[in-house]
Structure 1
Amino acid sequence: MTEIYTTNTIGPLLMGQAFLPLLKKAAQGSPGSALSCSKAAIINISSTGGCITSPGIFDLMPVISYRCSKTALNMLTKCQSLGYREHGILCVALQPGWVQTELGSSGGYQPPVTVDASVQGMLKVLSSLSEKDTGTFLDWEGNVLPW
C-alpha cells in the first residue's frame, strides 16, 4: 500500500510542488485572470476506483491500496485547487475511462474505451476547462464524477 500511495498520491504532490514556481510564472505571464489549461494547470490522472460514493465498483476493482491512493489523489487535487487558485493555477482530477490496455483488460473483462477515444476525449476536456472546473473530478468526456 505504501508503494502505491507513494506513486499515485505523493508523486503528484511532489511534482506539483516542484513545478509550482514555473506554474506561477506561466500564470503571471498569461493575459487575463481566468483559470484555464492554456494559462497554468495541474491535471491529476485519477480513477473511478477513488470514488467514495460509488462502493458498488468494489466487485470489479477490489484493490484497496489502489482505491485509497486515488481517493487521496482526489483530495490532493481539491486542496491544490484551493491553495493555487490565488496564483492563477487551475487544478483538476481527470479520469481517462476504463481503457483497453493490458492493465485495463487484466480482470478478464473487455474495457469499453479505446486508447485513441480516451486521449481524444481528454484533450477535448482539457481545451474546454475554465475557472468553474477547478477542484473538480471529471471523466474523459467532461462529466463531473462523484467524490
Structure 2
Amino acid sequence: MDALHVRSVLVTGSDRGIGLGLVTRFLEKRDPPEWVFATSLDLEGSHGKKLKKLAGHHPNLVVLQLDVRDLKSIEAATRKVEEHVKEHGLTLLINNAAILIKFTCLVTETAENMERQFNTNTIGTLQVSQAFLPLLKTAALRSPMEGLSCSKSAIINMSSDFSSIEKMSGWCLSQVVSYRCSKVAVNMLTRCMSLEYKQFGILCLSMHPGWVKTGMGTLLVPTSVKDSTTRGWIEITLLSTA
C-alpha cells in the first residue's frame, strides 16, 4: 500500500456504502492525501451530516454537494476542488455515484427506469469526468512519474459484476436489466476514456467492487464494505506503479 502516493482524490457518492469506505481507507493511510474530496447529494440529510461530522476530525477531508445529473452542481464542485488543489491539479477521480432503482425483470422494465439509471450511472460518470479533466491533465503534467499511474493522474469508474455480458452474474436471482445496461455502458465509456486520455498521461479503468452489503445490495450479505474497499485499495495500490 505504501506504493500509492496520491496528492488529492475525489470520490463521488461517498456519504455511504462503498464510496464512504473508500474515503475512509484514504484517510486511514499513514501518508494520507493532502486533500480528500467526498461528495453527497444532500449535505443536510442524515448521511450528509455524518460525512460533515467525519470532516471535523480530518482537516484534509472536504465535503461537497454534488448531483452527477446536474451540470451546475458539477461545475460548482469543480470550482471548489480547484480552490484547494490549485496548480497541482486533481490526482485521482473515482466515479462511484450510482443508483439501482428497482429490482425489475425484462417483462416489467420501463423506459423511465432505463432513463433514470443511465442519467446517473452512465451520463453522470461522463459529465463528472469531463468537468474534472482539466485538473486531471494538470496533475499528469506536473507529475515526474513516467507512464500511467494512479499516483500520477487517473479516473476509476466503479463497475459491476452484473455488467459482464459473458457471465450474466445473478440473472436467476435478479435481472435488473436497466442497471446492467447502464453499467455495461460505463465499461464502454471507460474504454473510450482510456484510449483518448492516455495521450494526456491519465490512466482510466473500471473496477468491480464485488457484491457488497450496502443500501443497494444487501441480499445474502456477500461482502462487507470494509472488505470490499480494502480489496479495492490493494488493486489501486498495485495500479499505482503500472
| Shared fold, TM over 0.5 | yes
- Partners in 2 of 1:82 and 1:29 — Cα distance? 21
Residue 56 of structure 1, CA deviation: 5.1
Determine the C-alpha separation between the residues in 1 that align with 2:149 and 2:191.
16
Equivalent residue of 2:170, what SS? Answer: helix
Offset from partner CA, 1:83-136 (integer Å, 9 cap, x none): 00010000111111111123212xxx313211110111111111111586xxxx
Return the offset for 1:33.
2.0
Query: In the alignment, which residue of structure 2 is the partner of 1:25?
Result: 138
Counterparts of 1:84-123 in structure 2, within 5 Å, are: 84-105=197-218, 109-123=219-233
Higher relative contact order (CA 8 A, sep 6+): 1
- More moved, 7-16 vs 109-118: 109-118
Q: Which residue of 2 aligns with 1:129?
A: 239
2:148 to 35, 53, 60: 35
CA distance in 2, matches of 1:55, 1:115: 23
Say whether 1:62 aligns with 2:175. Answer: yes
Gaps of 5+ in 2: 1-113
What CA distance in whole angstroms lies between the structure 2 residues aligned with 1:52 and 1:91? 21
Give, in whole Å, the separation in 2 of the partners of 1:43 and 1:56: 22
1:11 aligns with 2:124: yes
Instruction: State which of 169, 175, 187 in structure 2 corresponds to 1:74.
Output: 187
* Aligned equivalent of 1:2: 115
Q: SS state of the match for residue 233, structure 2?
A: helix
CA contact (8 A) 2:161 2:169 kept: no
Q: Which amino acid aligns with 1:128?
A: L
What is the identity, as a one-letter code, of the residue corresponding to 2:180? R
Q: Which runs of 4+ in 1 moved over 2 A?
A: none
% same residue: 49
1:98 partner SS: coil
Quick check: 109-118 or 86-95, which moved more?
109-118
With normalisation by structure 2, the TM-score equals 0.51
Structure 1 residue runs of 5 or longer lacking an equivalent are 133-147
Residue 58 of structure 1 aligns to a residue whose secondary structure is coil
Relative to structure 1, the CA distance from residue 16 to residue 5 in structure 2 (aligned partners, 3 Å threshold; closer, same or farther) is: same
Q: Distance in 2 between matches of 1:31 and 1:111?
A: 43
Q: What is the root-mean-square deviation of aligned Cα atoms in Å?
A: 1.4
Q: Work out which of the two has the higher radius of gyration on C-alpha atoms and give 1 or 2.
A: 2
